[in-house]
């Protein structure tokens, strides 16, 4: 059975969304950065722009982005945000993570095609002129961060003076990961399906106000007492959590060493970011996870513990809402999600397996196979409304190349046929919806080498333009492969 046989029966129905778009003035990039020793140099894009008409088109598109722009996920994560951030970072002075932790897995490739799997370090790190900021809204697992930095350095990517960690960011400890596993075991058949990276327990510590922040590493006289309080609380909460004085002593000694190594990276990133805005530096915000996993707007409780939608930018970096400009939503050409929770367009059985294999849909962080389905327009419109995206990046269009036909999930209906006019909060309702599909012809040809939109097969262009029509947001970037150059500017 080939990917070409992937098909589900559905009705030929559709709906038209109201088109909305925001246009903001661009702000010129100012050379230099007063907080580190990096000196600006011509970007890779600008070096080739004169000779390559396609490069001129891409440079015009990216240079027109606002001074403070963002790249956010618009499904359940794993849309390919890292690749776009890597490409756009060539035109920005700073790339900043604002939320989440090492549960975010962003896979990017350098100009030689070497693969990098990032979890905490922002995806702008491969651009040597970009400063990478880990903001106050991120939960930071120091062993993982140092392992990531060591791996980058070993691959020839310099991190010295190029990464700043907020002194307000909360520390995620190994024992948070233990607590994560214990919590999932408690839930049994109702488990969330977390990455077990300790994200939820760390944010829980933050919210109940016994968490430990990066700035606490500068006060080792009081660090043991704070750590004891945190460990004692977890031991009281989880029956299987073993805690004793030896554990406390070992952890304190371990974090004394971490504190010494981390010190050069620590900064008041709220001040850094806002001073950079004043100096007209360009800042690109990199979201982790995605809007459908947002703690408020996602399919709760099957969500992450942070705010990966637009509001998380302000709280996670200390940026005022009025300075936010263009927000780009990254959406896969089909839909995937990991873990538990409702998935209206999910393709079960061999069809889902074939799409998973064709798209290599296995988690960057965990390696878990992702659940796969058709593109859910209802959920995408909902994400666009919440975030006010100025444009979209449609990724993995090449994965659909072998299909004889492609389906779009365009409307939800209740069992009795009553239309549902918005994305429901009630999970039981989502699980019972009847999805209406619109069927479009496939193109059944390899598009991975195409770099101009006009060269795409007519059916591929029809698919792209129908998505634009349904959600009311233009698609400016189209991914046709994993490589850095496999991008079409529309």
83 falls within a domain: yes
Per-residue pLDDT at 373: 94
Helix (H) or strand (E) holding 328: strand 327-332
Q: What are phi and psi of 261, to 5 degrees?
A: -70, -35
The reply to whether 405 and 484 lie within a common domain is yes
444 falls within a domain: yes
CA end-to-end distance (rounded Å), the chain: 34
395 falls within a domain: yes
The CB-side HSE value for 301 (13 A sphere, CA atoms) comes to 8
Select from 208, 243, 263 the last residue of a domain: 263
CA-based radius of gyration for the chain: 23
The reply to whether 349 and 477 lie within a common domain is yes
20 falls within a domain: no
Strand ranges, E, within 168-223:
170-171
Give the residue carrying structure tokens 């702008």.
124
The reply to whether 191 and 129 lie within a common domain is no
Instruction: Write out pLDDT tens, residues 289-348.
Output: 999 999 999 999 999 999 999 999 999 999 999 999 999 999 999 999 887 888 999 999
CATH of the domain at 422: 3.90.170.10
What is the distance between the alpha carbons of residues 68 and 31, in angstroms, rounded to a whole number? 16
Active site residue 458: no
Q: Is 307 helix (H, G, I), strand (E, B) or coil?
A: coil
Per-residue pLDDT at 21: 34
Instruction: Write out pLDDT tens, residues 395-437.
Output: 999 999 989 999 999 999 998 889 998 899 999 999 999 999 9
Task: Spot the catalytic one: 78, 86, 129, 326.
Answer: 78
The reply to whether 60 and 180 lie within a common domain is no
Task: Spot the catalytic one: 91, 93, 106, 129.
Answer: 106
Active site residue 226: no
What is the distance between the alpha carbons of residues 197 and 175, in angstroms, rounded to a whole number? 10
CATH of the domain at 212: 1.10.300.10
The reply to whether 278 and 364 lie within a common domain is no
Select from 292, 309, 328 the last residue of a domain: 328
Task: Spot the catalytic one: 91, 170, 176, 206.
Answer: 206
Query: Under a CB-based contact definition with an 8 Å cutoff, are residues 379 and 77 in contact?
Result: no
Flag residues of the chain having pLDDT under 50: 1-51
185 falls within a domain: yes
What is the distance between the alpha carbons of residues 149 and 156, in angstroms, rounded to a whole number? 11
Select from 236, 263, 290 the last residue of a domain: 263
Q: Residue 427 burial (CB < 10 Å; 0-12/13-18/19+)?
A: middle
* Token pair in block for residue 405: 């036909």
450 falls within a domain: yes
338 falls within a domain: yes
Contacts of 423 (CB under 8 A, 6+ apart): 378, 379, 381, 382, 412, 430
Instruction: Write out pLDDT tens, residues 38-56.
Output: 334 344 444 444 445 555 6
Q: Model's pTM, two decimal places?
A: 0.86
Give the count of domains, the chain: 3
For 128: left if phi > 0, alpha if psi spans -120 to 50, otherwise beta; the answer is alpha
The reply to whether 450 and 481 lie within a common domain is yes
The reply to whether 357 and 254 lie within a common domain is no
The reply to whether 126 and 272 lie within a common domain is yes
CATH of the domain at 287: 3.40.440.10
Per-residue pLDDT at 189: 63
Q: What are phi and psi of 223, to 5 degrees?
A: -55, -45
The reply to whether 133 and 112 lie within a common domain is yes
Measuring CA to CA, how many Å separate 331 from each of 73, 243, 473, 476?
7, 43, 12, 12
Would you list which residues are annotated within the binding site for IMP?
Answer: 78-81, 103-106, 195, 209, 289, 304, 368
Would you list which residues are annotated within the binding site?
Answer: 77-83, 103-107, 195, 209, 289, 304, 364-370, 396-398, 479-481
The reply to whether 324 and 397 lie within a common domain is no
Measuring CA to CA, how many Å separate 126 from each of 87, 205, 288, 416?
10, 33, 18, 53
29 falls within a domain: no
The reply to whether 375 and 461 lie within a common domain is yes
Per-residue pLDDT at 47: 42
Active site residue 16: no
What is the distance between the alpha carbons of residues 148 and 366, in angstroms, rounded to a whole number? 15
Would you list which residues are annotated within the binding site for GTP?
Answer: 77-83, 105-107, 370, 396-398, 479-481
Helix (H) or strand (E) holding 275: helix 269-278
Show the domain range for 214: 170-263
Give the residue carrying structure tokens 């609380």.
233
Would you list which residues are annotated within the binding site for Mg(2+)?
Answer: 78, 105
The reply to whether 83 and 150 lie within a common domain is yes
């Amino acid at each position: 059975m080939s990917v070409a046989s992937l098909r589900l029966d559905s009705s030929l129905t559709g709906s038209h969304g109201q088109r909305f778009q925001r246009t903001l003035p661009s702000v010129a990039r100012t050379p230099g950065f007063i907080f580190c020793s990096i000196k600006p140099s011509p970007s890779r894009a600008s070096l080739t722009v004169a000779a390559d008409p396609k490069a001129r088109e891409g440079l015009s598109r990216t240079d027109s982005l606002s001074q403070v722009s963002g790249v956010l996920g618009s499904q359940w994560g794993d849309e390919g945000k890292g690749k776009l951030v890597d490409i756009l970072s060539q035109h920005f002075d700073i790339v900043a993570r604002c939320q989440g932790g090492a549960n975010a897995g962003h896979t990017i490739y350098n100009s030689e095609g070497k693969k990098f799997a990032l979890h905490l370090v922002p995806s702008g790190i491969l651009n040597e002129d970009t400063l990478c900021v880990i903001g106050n809204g991120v939960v930071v697992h120091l062993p993982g961060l140092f392992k990531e930095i060591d791996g980058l350095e070993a691959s020839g990517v310099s991190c010295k003076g190029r990464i700043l960690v907020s002194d307000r960011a909360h520390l995620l400890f190994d024992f948070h990961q233990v607590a994560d596993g214990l919590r999932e075991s408690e839930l049994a058949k109702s488990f969330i399906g977390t990455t077990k990276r300790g994200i939820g327990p760390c944010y829980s510590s933050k919210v109940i106000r016994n968490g430990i922040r990066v700035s606490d590493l500068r006060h080792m006289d009081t660090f043991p007492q704070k750590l004891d309080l945190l460990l004692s609380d977890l031991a009281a909460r989880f029956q299987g959590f073993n805690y004793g004085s030896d554990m406390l002593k070992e952890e304190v000694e371990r974090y004394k060493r971490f504190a010494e190594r981390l010190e050069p990276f620590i900064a008041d990133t709220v001040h850094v970011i806002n001073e950079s805005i004043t100096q007209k530096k360009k800042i690109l915000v990199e979201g982790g996870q995605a809007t459908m996993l947002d703690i408020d707007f996602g399919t709760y409780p099957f969500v992450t513990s942070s705010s990966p939608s637009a509001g998380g930018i302000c709280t996670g970096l200390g940026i005022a809402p009025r300075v936010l400009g263009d927000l780009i939503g990254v959406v896969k050409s089909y839909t995937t999600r990991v873990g538990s929770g409702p998935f209206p367009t999910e393709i079960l059985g061999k069809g889902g397996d074939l799409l998973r294999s064709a798209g290599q849909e296995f988690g960057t962080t965990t390696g878990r196979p992702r659940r796969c389905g058709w593109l859910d327009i209802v959920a995408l419109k909902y994400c666009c409304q919440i975030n006010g995206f100025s444009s979209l990046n449609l990724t993995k269009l090449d994965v659909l190349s072998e299909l004889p036909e492609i389906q779009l999930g365009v409307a939800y209906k209740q069992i009795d046929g009553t239309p549902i006019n918005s994305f429901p909060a009630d999970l039981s309702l989502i699980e019972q919806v009847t999805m209406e599909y619109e069927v479009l012809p496939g193109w059944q040809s390899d598009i991975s080498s195409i770099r101009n939109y006009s060269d795409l097969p007519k059916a591929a262009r029809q698919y792209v333009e129908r998505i634009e029509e349904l959600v009311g947001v233009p698609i400016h970037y189209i991914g046709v492969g994993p490589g850095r150059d496999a991008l079409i500017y529309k």
